[in-house]
Amino acid sequence: MEESLKSICYDALVIGAGIAGGEAALNLANTGYKVLLVDKELSVGGKMIMLSKVFPTLDCAACITTPKVSEISRHPNITIFTGSEVSNIRKLSDNEFAAKVTKKPRYVHVEDCTACQLCEKACPTSVRDQYQFGLIGRKAAFIPFSICSPKAAAIDIDNCTLCGACERACPTHCIDFTMETETIELHVKTIIVATGFNLFDPNNMPRYGYGKFKNVITAMQMEREIAPTRPYHTILRPGDGKVPDRIAYVLCVGSRDASVGNPICSQICCMYSIKQAQLLMGALPMADVTIYYINIRSFGKGFEEFYQQAKGMGVNFVKGKIGRISEKENGNLILRYEDINKGKLQEAEHDMVILSTGVLPNKGIDGLFENETLYLDEFSFVGQSDKLASPAKTSIGGVFVAGAATGPMDIPDSILSAGAASSEAISYIIQHA
Amino acid sequence: MKKKKIGVYICHCGGNISDYVDVEKVRQAVEGEDIVFLAKTTMFACSDANQREMVNDIEANGLTSVVVASCSPKLHLLTFRNVSQRANLNKYTYVHANIREQASWAHSDNKIGATEKAIHLVKAAIAKANYAEALESNKVKAQKSVAIIGAGVAGMKAAISLSNKDCEVILIEKEPFVGGRVAQWNSLSTTTETGKEIVKRLYDDLITRDNITICTNSEVISNKGSVGNFTLKIKTTPRYIRQSFHPEDLTRAIEVCPVSVPDEFNFRLTQRKAIYKNYPGEYPQTPVIDIKNCTRCGACEKVCPAVDFNEKEEITEITVGSVLMATGFDPYTPGYGEFGYATSENVITLPQFKRLIDEQSGTLVYKGKVIKNIAYIYCVGSRQTKGDNTYCSRNCCTSTIHAAVTAKSKFPDINNFHFNRGLRTYGKQEILYADSLRSGDIYLQSYEDGLPTVTIEGNKTIVKINDILTNGKEIEVEADLVVLVTGMVPRADNKVGTLFKLPKGRDKFYNEIHMKLRPVETVIDGVTIAGACQGPKNIAESVNSALSAATKSYSIISKGELESEPLVAIIDQDKCTWCGACEKACPFDAILKVEDKGKIVAEINNSVCKGCGMCAPVCEPDAINVTACSSTEIMSMIDTLV
């Protein structure tokens, strides 16, 4: 079997093509190193490319991510494998790591696909669209999202009925059901882990009714509703399609809460909620927006001013953690909370509730390594061996970490952390040449 | 002139433009123009698919120039220039029209007007494209060396990182010793290593490297040139102590010095001599004579032969490819009487408190008084509602809690009262907050419009607050010590920033190009910013930004050559009469006075000129043109617009 494996060599392997992995890859590539950038999703861009706008600049996330993504995709020193996973990493010597990359079949020849969407139209199967966080459906033959890169169709083989309609509809004959999983043996000199984070699953907090009450959604779903590539072209509550006018944000859902196993603060939720509140005030000028919080943590550059701006715009900030949410017959929601400023238990009615879910580690990264141990910290984020003086170093020499894989982080902090990881990786390659 | 064939692309920007500007109407309005060969609309002009389509269009139809009407050129000018280049067009034939910031966003209340304005802007861009010329980039040799200004932890880490990449580094520190603020701290959160140990570890590494030159007691006093070749003058103040010395002699010299001045290292809590070292393990190991405060009594000279008052100030000139600024921050100094500062003996700042607990053991004593109750007042000099510092200083909540926890473990009898405005122990720092709550610290939170007050009654200080957490009850604490949690402010002495014309933000910290995606680069090509000079940061964040800045600085110069934009001013030396007006108008010192054919005329230094055009309108004989913005191009645009 070994003979059938393709073997390839690069200077660096970057695992995860979100904004941190992308930035790290670009830094390496711009200084002349050959990089393999691997992501398990069908597009590069990670979570950032899915966002609406970014705080506190209110730049459109798509508008600032796509140039970066284009730069990454076109860079002569970067090779991208999407829909691929890395495993079995072995350190062979100080300047050589071997790894296995498994490239799952997309069933579409990307170079021939023009993203004409005729396959989408032809496909009879509908499933929930994971890239719109379940708000709408998509086909089994689909373009992941409008600004994805590579911009090409993919076949969701788990849901495909193999009816062949897409194949017949495709004008460039780029759909190919004979594609198979490819396994590639990879040799690199250094590795950057930029595997990002997961969002807390609010199903684990039944008292907020997520999954049961239709008008309780997550902040990531709201990101999609207000993004330029949004699913509805306006803001609707999912229960009945009504345009909401009394919107509530519940902060610290799955953060600062030992009862759900996550005692730490997620660092980004206050700010993204304030940003969404501002965008909602702009999109729905008549709507009331209330943010229920424990502490507002607007600590970064320009953040406090952004928070004050939201207050000035009329966003209502209430200090108090929501105890329970219940649903009325008309789909409205009753929030029960202690209003700390007033020292009273209160109830408030809203017609839509957004849960600002926290940041959790992307578990299992340590399992990628075979003959060395990648230590994780007490919260299961990738451990940092020299936290203050070399934050990008891990327990394995030559393996560095970037972005939210080490803990909650916003975009600029991820960019800085990626800069540090790439700096260490470049130094490592030069020092171990 | 060959007739132009122009391709025009009008972008929806996913609704950012098309929600207010009727992009199809814009397309129809321009497609009939004589030189427009094709006009299309697109959902995202910047998307890969559209870029591919543009390349195909250019190649298939032999277009001579492309216009994209989309967002600000700041975002995508380069993107589309590169598209042109990939299709074998000269990239400077590309013309950008901004119909998002200038039409759709600015006129979201008037869709018809926004559309009309967009049509005008696109037509003007087409007019400019008609005259756009092929230009070649200027190539400049770049020195493979970086000057790092500031040898705190950020500067030191950046130096090591660049040295690892075989890059020459000149590390310039204004103070006589390296280590910056971190050298002032002992205990740090999340590590057992002290601040001084981290500094020692970095310094021990620095001095083993041949490609790093450390200049302490040194300041950059002038800057000429630009990216690739910055020529800096460095002024080094002597230490007045020769390198080789007997440690015992120096100890005696310090003993005999009769001068006593407040010790800034200990935030003026203690006094030091005119010949001094801040702490025993400090780097460089050679002490220094503070000549401003020295009375030249000669007492030290008598006991220590290494003292040498004949050492002279030195000026060195260096040329480097890039400059990395890591000048750090100052702690905020409270105003006279601000929460009792300077009016009560019991009031100190957080940095002073941290020095105080480092220096003492057993019982905590301040000014002869045993300290039991400590009140920490948060956000002093940060999040001001009445001052200029509206920003949050990011690090002080964690730093205070860490100091309080450290104090409590060292002096178990103390009680900590935290008068805060909502704790911001973001991320994993939350655990520290939880630890402090468990150890019995008391947290009292003020309303936004009712900050705590400090009342001085004799030698007592009473801190009062209406506490949110107990339903607004007025609570008072008689504090033996009031610690003002002072935030970070930009360095008061910012001469060096001015030398490089570094822009500052509303908060007066240095401004990056883009807050989200380019946090360490500045609008001055070749100058990067690292650490707290860009905004408040903790140690790990400073190091991340230092390494990022090092990477960016390195990638600029690593190839030894760089391309600069050909967009520069051009002098018609026949017309020039050298009145000097252009020289005065130029913000980049790019205009030189030269003699040409026996006549004094102006000349442009192309590697410094940014093509900003400030010189052109002040030139009376109209001898200056700016490439790609020639009078013909601009006039044709104006004709279209009016």
Following DSSP, what letter does each residue of B41-98 receive, concatenated?
Answer: EES-TTSHHHHHHHHHHHHHHT-SEEEEEES-HHHHHHHHHHHHHHTTS-GGG-EEEE
The verdict on A408 touching B (C-beta cutoff 8 Å) is: yes
The verdict on B548 touching A (C-beta cutoff 8 Å) is: yes
Read off the tokens for A209.
Answer: 């009714």
Mean pLDDT of A359-385: 96
Q: Which of A417, A412, A410, A55 is nearest to A266 (CA)?
A: A410
pLDDT tens profile A124-171: 999 999 999 999 999 999 999 988 888 899 999 999 999 999 999 999
Please state the φ and ψ torsions of residue A187, each to the nearest 5 degrees: -125, 125
Using alpha carbons only, give the angle A256, A259, A262 rounded to the nearest 5 degrees.
45
Residue B424 identity: R
**Which 3 state secondary structure label does DSSP give B464?**
strand
Helices (H), B275-319: 299-303
| Ordered structural domains, chain B, with CATH | 6-131 (3.40.50), 145-237+313-328+491-557 (3.50.50.60), 247-303 (no CATH), 333-489 (3.50.50.60), 568-626 (3.30.70.20)
**What pLDDT is recorded for position B258?**
96
**What pLDDT is recorded for position B1?**
57
Q: Is the dihedral of CA B594, B595, B600, B601 positive or negative?
A: negative
By 3-state DSSP, what share of chain B in percent is helix, strand and coil, each rounded to 5? Answer: 30, 25, 40
Residue listed under structure tokens 């707290």 = B532
Mean pLDDT of B188-203: 94
Residue B530 near residue B325, CB atoms below 8 Å: yes
Please state the φ and ψ torsions of residue B446, each to the nearest 5 degrees: -90, 160
Mean pLDDT of B569-573: 93
A 58-97 near B (Cβ less than 8 A): 59-60, 62-64, 66-70, 73-74
Share of chain B above pLDDT 70, in %: 100
Distance CA B112, CA B120 (A): 13
Secondary structure E strands in B237-301: 261-262, 271-272, 275-276, 288-289
β-strand B322-325 against B527-529: which pairing, if any?
Answer: parallel
Cβ-nearest to B43 among A146, A341, A424: A146
**What pLDDT is recorded for position B281?**
84
Q: Using a CB-CB distance cutoff of 8 angstroms, which residues of chain A are in contact with residue B156? A: none
pLDDT at A5 > cutoff 70? no
Assigned architecture for domain A2-103+181-196+362-431: 3-Layer(bba) Sandwich (3.50)
Residue A54: other Cβ atoms inside 10 A: 23
Cβ-nearest to B198 among A149, A308, A389: A389
Which pLDDT band, with edges at 50, 70 and 90, does B434 fall under? very high
Mean pLDDT of B506-535: 95
Chain B residue nearest residue A57, CA to CA: B515
Q: How far is B246 from chain A (nearest CA, A)?
A: 33
pLDDT at A4 > cutoff 70? no
Give me the total of CB pairs closer than 8 Å, taking one residue from chain A and one from chain B.
224
ipTM associated with this complex: 0.95
Distance CA B443, CA B424 (A): 13
Q: Which of B478, B577, B605, B553 is nearest to B148 (CA)?
A: B553
pLDDT at B224 > cutoff 90? no
Mean pLDDT of chain A: 95
pLDDT tens profile B368-383: 999 999 999 999 999 9
Q: How far is A78 from chain B (nearest CA, A)?
A: 16
pLDDT at A245 > cutoff 80? yes
- Bin A39: left if φ > 0, else alpha if -120 < ψ < 50, else beta: beta
pLDDT tens profile B324-345: 999 999 999 999 999 999 999 9
Burial A391-417 (b: 16+ CB within 10 A, else e): bbbbbbebbbbbbbbbbbbbbbbbbbb
pLDDT tens profile B61-113: 999 999 999 988 877 898 899 999 999 999 999 999 999 989 998 898 899 99
Read off the tokens for B464.
Answer: 């009062």
Distance CA B414, CA B408 (A): 6
Which pLDDT band, with edges at 50, 70 and 90, does B448 fall under? confident
The verdict on A47 touching B (C-beta cutoff 8 Å) is: no
A 184-213 near B (Cβ less than 8 A): none
Contact criterion met (CB < 8 Å) for A62 and B14: yes
Q: Which of B563, B583, B570, B562 is nearest to B628 (CA)?
A: B570
Cβ-nearest to A57 among B78, B516, B539: B516
pLDDT tens profile B239-284: 999 988 888 998 999 999 999 999 999 999 999 999 999 998 888 9
Mean pLDDT of chain B: 93
The verdict on A334 touching B (C-beta cutoff 8 Å) is: no
Cβ-nearest to B198 among A301, A340, A388: A388
Read off the tokens for A220.
Answer: 């990531």
Mean pLDDT of A298-302: 96
Contact criterion met (CB < 8 Å) for B519 and A228: no
**What pLDDT is recorded for position B72?**
85
Going by CATH, does the domain composed of A200-358 fall within 3.30.360.10? no
Cβ-nearest to B423 among A229, A295, A422: A295
**What pLDDT is recorded for position A3?**
42
Residue B496 near residue B218, CB atoms below 8 Å: no
The verdict on B552 touching A (C-beta cutoff 8 Å) is: yes
Q: How far is B168 from chain A (nearest CA, A)?
A: 14
pLDDT at A364 > cutoff 60? yes
Distance CA A211, CA A429 (A): 48
Burial B410-427 (b: 16+ CB within 10 A, else e): bbeebbbbbbbbbbbbbb
Chain A residue nearest residue B517, CA to CA: A412
Q: Where are the CATH 3.50.50.60 domain residues in chain A? A: 2-103+181-196+362-431, 200-358
The verdict on A16 touching B (C-beta cutoff 8 Å) is: no
Chain A residue nearest residue B190, CA to CA: A387
pLDDT at A339 > cutoff 80? yes
Q: How far is B62 from chain A (nearest CA, A)?
A: 22
Distance CA B569, CA B604 (A): 7
